[in-house]
Each structure stands twice: as C-alpha cells, then as structure tokens.
C-alpha cells in the first residue's frame, strides 16, 4: 500500500536534482568498543576505500551479529561520508556506490524523504521490508543524513551527505571520546548535527559582529566608548550591501537556531521513549549534552535578536547618510 511518505518522495522534492562526480574512492568511519584485559575503551577508525574494498565493507552489514564482534570487541557505528559540492550541486561519489550504500543500509526511503523538506529531523516507521526504524536529518542545501540501528548486530549505520567544507568538522567530532561514548544511543547522530549547528551559529555571529563594529565606527551611529576597530572601507553603497548581507546571515542563523531546537526536542523525545538499562551511562551523558546545548541555543537566540537590531541600525544610518549627501 502506498504511503504519504512515498507520495511526498515522488511529488514534493525541495532539494535540487544532484549529479554525481563518478569518484570511486569512498571515505568511511567506524567506532569500536575494545575490551582489552577487562578494560573497556572506544576507538575511531577512518579510511578511504577503493570501489571493491568499499563494496566488501558494505557487505559486512548483511552478516551475522557475530561478524560485528572481533576478539570481544564490538562494532558500534559505521558511517559513509559523501562530500557535497554545493556550487556544482554534485555528490563527489559514483552513482552506483552511493545507491549501494543506501540499499545496503535500507535508507532509500529516508534519503528520498530528506529531499522533501528544507530542514528537519525525524523517524520513519513506514518500512515494508524491515522492522528497523530509519532516521533522517536535513538542512537544505548543505547537509542531509540518514541512519538506522541494525537489528542483527546493534550498530548504527549512517550515510552522511554534507558540504565538503563542513565534513572535516563532523569527522573531527566523531573522533572525540565524548561523542564515541554516546554512539550506542540511536539518537546520537542527531545530537552530532545539533553540535554542528550550534558551532556554526556561534561562528556566523562572530563574523557578523566584526562587520557591524567596523561599520559602526565608519558611520558613528553607536554609543560604544570601547570601539577600537578600524572603520569599514568602501563607499556608502558598499556599506549598505555589506549590512544587507549581514541581515540575511542573521536570518540564516535564525533558521539554524529553529532547526537546532527541533533537533534537541527530537533527541529529548527519543530519550524519554527508550531507556534500556544497559545503555544508562550513555543515556545520562547524552541527556547532559542536550541540556547544555538547549541553554546555549537560548543564549544564541537572544544574541541573534541583539545583532539584528545593530545591523538594522547601521542600515538606517547608511541610508540617512546617503540621503544627506545627495542633497
């Protein structure tokens, strides 16, 4: 029976059609839990695989749960990185390898649904061929991610399509012990996306503030006694364009903040609905991280309003100066 999800996938695409570069080398990551001499620790492995090796790597997901354990060590997470060349609207991978990854993990429907929304996170239950849940995150036009918790072996399988400029940040996050300690939780990929959004909002705010301070020095329309920045260069038209761009970036920050809050609410809901005893340590850690990010999100939201007011003030100031000089 056709579902609403399938209907939207076929008829309501928000993402543009993406091309493929044909690249046959694929980046993958794994997180293992090692237990040498009764001492548990996690380890991260990142590698680039050629086509044949990548296909073999994928086939491990079809094997038994015993194959996910080696010498008492347990595989916790497997991730396929797909760089997104945003200006070219191109996935930097061969089409067949990308399709094989989605098919092997059973992510075809989740990947299709990602492209029907401009931003969001959620869980899909409409899987006709599997009892596994499929999760998704999307933020057009820079990133979408699908993941699932394998029934046979328990590891998380993830396909991450991300702007090539953001990929190093996510990869570095995955190498952090703090992140490795929460990947046993099905909602952990969403939390990683939330951290990325929080970091990006902070960076964008810092960049906007720097530009605004320079324009404030140039126009003199401010009441700060500690201004030490150099005045912004260029004519009034270029200053107006710069502040208009800053206003747009404030809007982008606001969009990311709304998405961040949605992701954190999603993770909180997932944590409330599932609390297995054997995952109580990672559960508590993930809960603390959500709480911290929620507090930061509240502060960032207030900061965004404050920055937008300063940008608007400088836009008005530049406009007044233009009128004054035209007389």
- Asked whether residue 28 falls in the same domain as residue 157, the answer is yes
Residue that terminates a domain, selected from 113, 148, 164: 164
**Domain membership flag for residue 123:** yes
**Domain membership flag for residue 182:** no
- Asked whether residue 92 falls in the same domain as residue 43, the answer is yes
- Asked whether residue 261 falls in the same domain as residue 158, the answer is no
- Asked whether residue 41 falls in the same domain as residue 155, the answer is yes
Cα(232)–Cα(209) distance, rounded to whole angstroms? 13
Q: What is the pLDDT along the chain (327 residues), one digit of tens a residue?
A: 568 888 999 888 999 999 999 999 999 999 998 875 545 578 889 999 999 999 999 987 555 444 555 566 889 999 999 999 999 999 999 999 999 999 999 999 999 999 999 999 999 975 555 556 899 999 999 999 999 987 667 789 999 999 999 999 999 999 999 999 999 889 999 999 999 999 999 999 999 999 999 999 899 888 877 777 788 888 889 999 999 999 999 999 999 999 999 999 999 999 888 766 556 778 889 999 999 999 999 999 999 999 999 999 999 999 988 888 876
**Domain membership flag for residue 188:** no
Split into its structural domains, the chain has a count of 2
Closest CA to 136 of 106, 165, 166: 106
- Asked whether residue 90 falls in the same domain as residue 232, the answer is no
pLDDT (0 to 100) of residue 137: 98
**Domain membership flag for residue 180:** no
Pairing state of beta strands 69-70 and 19-20? unpaired
Beta bridge partners, 157, equal 78, 148
- Asked whether residue 149 falls in the same domain as residue 282, the answer is no
Beta bridge partners, 47, equal 28
- Asked whether residue 208 falls in the same domain as residue 136, the answer is no
- Asked whether residue 18 falls in the same domain as residue 152, the answer is yes
- Asked whether residue 70 falls in the same domain as residue 201, the answer is no
- Asked whether residue 104 falls in the same domain as residue 239, the answer is no
**Domain membership flag for residue 91:** yes
Residue that terminates a domain, selected from 119, 143, 164: 164
- Asked whether residue 158 falls in the same domain as residue 10, the answer is yes
- Asked whether residue 220 falls in the same domain as residue 309, the answer is yes
**Domain membership flag for residue 80:** yes
pLDDT (0 to 100) of residue 65: 46
**Domain membership flag for residue 307:** yes
Range of the domain at 69: 4-164
**Domain membership flag for residue 171:** no
């Amino acid at each position: 029976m056709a579902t609403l999800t399938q209907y939207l996938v076929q008829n309501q695409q928000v993402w543009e059609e993406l091309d493929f570069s044909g690249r046959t080398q694929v980046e993958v990551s794994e997180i293992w839990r090692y237990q040498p001499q009764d001492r548990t620790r996690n380890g991260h492995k990142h590698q680039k695989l050629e086509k044949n090796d990548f296909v073999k790597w994928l086939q491990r997901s079809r094997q038994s749960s015993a194959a996910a354990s080696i010498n008492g060590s347990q595989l916790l997470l497997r991730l396929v990185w797909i760089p997104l060349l945003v200006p070219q609207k191109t996935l930097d991978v061969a089409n067949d390898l990308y399709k094989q990854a989605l098919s092997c993990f059973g992510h075809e429907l989740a990947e299709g649904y990602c492209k029907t929304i401009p931003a969001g996170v959620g869980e899909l239950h409409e899987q006709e061929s599997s009892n596994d849940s499929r999760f998704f995150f999307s933020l057009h036009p820079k990133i979408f991610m699908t993941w699932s918790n394998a029934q046979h072996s328990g590891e998380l399988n993830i396909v991450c399509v991300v702007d090539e400029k953001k990929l190093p940040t996510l990869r570095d996050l995955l190498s952090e012990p703090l992140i490795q300690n929460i990947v046993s939780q099905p909602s952990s990929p969403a939390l990683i996306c939330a951290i990325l959004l929080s970091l990006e909002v902070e960076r964008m705010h810092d960049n906007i503030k720097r530009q605004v301070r320079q324009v404030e020095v140039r126009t003199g329309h401010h009441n700060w006694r500690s201004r030490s920045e150099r005045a912004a260069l260029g004519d009034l038209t270029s200053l107006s364009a710069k502040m208009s761009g800053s206003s747009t970036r404030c809007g982008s920050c606001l969009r990311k903040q709304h998405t961040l809050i949605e992701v954190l609410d999603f993770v909180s809901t997932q944590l409330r609905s599932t609390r297995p005893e054997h995952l109580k340590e990672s559960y508590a850690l993930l809960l603390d991280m959500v709480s911290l990010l929620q507090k930061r999100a509240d502060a960032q939201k207030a900061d965004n309003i404050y920055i937008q007011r300063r940008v608007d003030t400088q836009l008005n100031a530049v406009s007044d100066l233009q009128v004054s000089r035209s007389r």
